[in-house]
Structure 1
């Protein structure tokens, strides 16, 4: 296939596919420019030249610090295409501290009910905290935790233990809760794996490859907790460093470290 044909194929695979069903989105959901229908399917294979930003129609780079409990500063230059069909999110140590990358679809791509998947090769090492997660798309008007958070996968200093968690508010906004599935697993840093979540009314099912980790429902919540997940979400991919949970990097930490994202897909349900 010639270069023109390859470019056409990449464009077709990475474009937003407008479909006809409207029932999957809540009122006020945000849709990509040029998509007139009320529900979309998305596939991004992160093709492009090395050093380019991911598709700006879908992704924004998050920069600066204090976005999470990690000790890193996020820079746009640490979340770029690698020229080999991946988004490379890199953590490095500099004379000024630790820097890393974080991208999100906030205010660009709202993901309604459906299956959201990212194929990722995770890094591993003391103090490394790669994550793929979702937050309510109306976060600006309904601040966290009332907008909800779904952590599809977090690896915290150890690629042999998975963590999948939901966060939300208690009744009366008197505090927050978290409910999690976690446990041992063969080393996830040795190869690419598909991390996915099926998000439907009153149910959130999370899995890795062909394995279902578990399903959260309103019955999963502690007493006085509120289920607030029946809303569109936006996606986040990041590599945090340090913090209370992961602990600081040490001499064993392989830096620079890279989280490679082969593709990202959302399929409406």
Structure 2
């Protein structure tokens, strides 16, 4: 595992488990999250206070992301791995009813953040003259129709495309860029306070019998950032318990419900969802 990492959306879920894996491997980590309460809780939970720092960051704002990367360099002297993990469920509802503002907000958090994290981490890595790794959290929703709401799915498809194009560009600098595509992972972002959602998908659709957990994705993400994956770049690695193999249509289960409302969900950022019933 790389020695100094930055993880966005690390206040909980997959991001927290990535940060935990970095610390467990003896590395240092800057925990980035928009929600300061979750960020401070994550730092307390991780321990190793001399190797963990929290920075509040709006990943859609360039100044914030640049400051986040600078915090790693100021505190720990360098950056070896950038985990662009932050994301929101985003806009939902019938495509005929979604607002442009909700659509743009979804892309700002889920795609612009990956662009900004890649841009500023790569600048620092190139300046250091050393190898580096960038790992983006995408989704199986970006691989086929029916894996998520329209804006979320399109955004995650963009993350996968951006991963591949930047992997080609940054390869001469020995900076690897990969993505991990989780399936139904048991986090608040997915079940939105309704844990039975993921259990229903696991029982009815997912071939592998175990519930998907954040640490399972963290293990894949940290492997992609490690020397064990030193010849792997430009890949979108699926970790979904066989969902893609079974051709999932996860959104079919929620479609009647979602067709009766529209709005945007902000995940664990601390911002309340905006829901408009049709």
Q: TM-score, normalised by structure 2?
A: 0.30
Question: Which of the pair has the greater relative contact order for Cα pairs under 8 Å at 6+ separation?
Answer: 1
The structure with the largest helix share of the pair is 2
The structure with the largest strand share of the pair is 1
Q: TM-score, normalised by structure 1?
A: 0.31
